[in-house]
Amino acid sequence: MELQFNEFSSVFELLKKFKDEQACINHLEYLRWEGRIISPYEPSSKVYKCKANKYRCKSTGLYFNVRTGTIFEDTKVPLQKWFMALFLFSSHKKGISSHQLARDIKVTQKTAWFMLMRLRYAFDHPAFKEALGNIVEVDETFIGGEEKNKHANKKTKGSQGRSTKTKTPVLGMLERNGNIIATVVDNTKQETIEPIINETVKDDATIMTDEWQGYKGLKHAYKHETVNHSAKQYVNGMAHTNGLEGFWSHFKRGIDGIYHWVSVSHLQSYVDEFALRFNTRNLNTASRFDLILANVSGRLTYKQLIAK
């Protein structure tokens, strides 16, 4: 069956394209298998087509469908609602809260939260994990409440600056005019962040950072240029981290304005969410939608999720 991949950029156009559950199944089957059904239990096995969009693996005798082995497995939520959730979630620049999604697609808030967390799981896309090159900006930010905004009796002593007592650091690496890779870290010490940078950035890249001492060892492996933020210097020739600073600003506005609070155990999922939106900034709505939908393999159960 040949599918028509029409562009869509609104909820109305999305519903017109995926008018029923079968249209959603056909689209997902094409993205996953491209016309050749593959058993999730034995990829080399012959597959028999059965009724109600089910298939049987000859080698194992087990039945499966297009949801099997994906974030959609074992959910009673129709694919139509999943598709709408993905569209809203991926196209809103700052995300969407579980309360708002619950109202938009008519599910409970708990179900909406679980759906969003499964989608964030799919947002951790391998296509954007390739090593960064050329000019790479490296910077870190801290996520957590501002001590100055707290009541005097709730402030934590010694939590200023880079303290991790009440804040969680996130390390970001941005290739100029390219992708960003960001990861939650325990601290910003040299022994913590330098190995991550070495694994993520190509050897022939030029790295731009601020003056933080955790970056001092980079000069031995890379061409390394710095700006002195503590001296109010933000551009030094070609050296600056303004692109990454812009990403951090957008990320924090999204957390503060949409989600309000994020637990440390789930913070990486939210980082992946904003990173994928940034990395697909040059794609249209339909292309971003299909890119994520093609990467829904892998299960994330509710038990696994709350175990964090």
Q: What digits encode the pLDDT tens for the residues 191-244?
A: 999 999 999 999 999 999 999 999 999 999 999 999 888 777 777 778 889 999
Instruction: Locate the domains of the chain by residue range.
Output: 11-123+286-307, 128-145+158-262
Mean pLDDT across 140-164:
66
Report pTM: 0.85
Helix (H) or strand (E) holding 27: helix 21-33
Phi-psi region of 262 (alpha: psi -120 to 50; beta: other; left: phi over 0): beta
Mean pLDDT across 164-169:
80
- pLDDT at 4 (0 to 100): 47
User: What's the fold here for domain 128-145+158-262?
Assistant: Nucleotidyltransferase; domain 5 (3.30.420)
Cα-Cα-Cα-Cα torsion 232, 237, 239, 242, nearest 10 degrees, comes to 60
65-112 confidence digits (pLDDT tens): 999 999 999 899 999 999 999 999 998 888 999 999 999 999 999 999
Helix (H) or strand (E) holding 206: strand 206-209
- pLDDT at 249 (0 to 100): 95
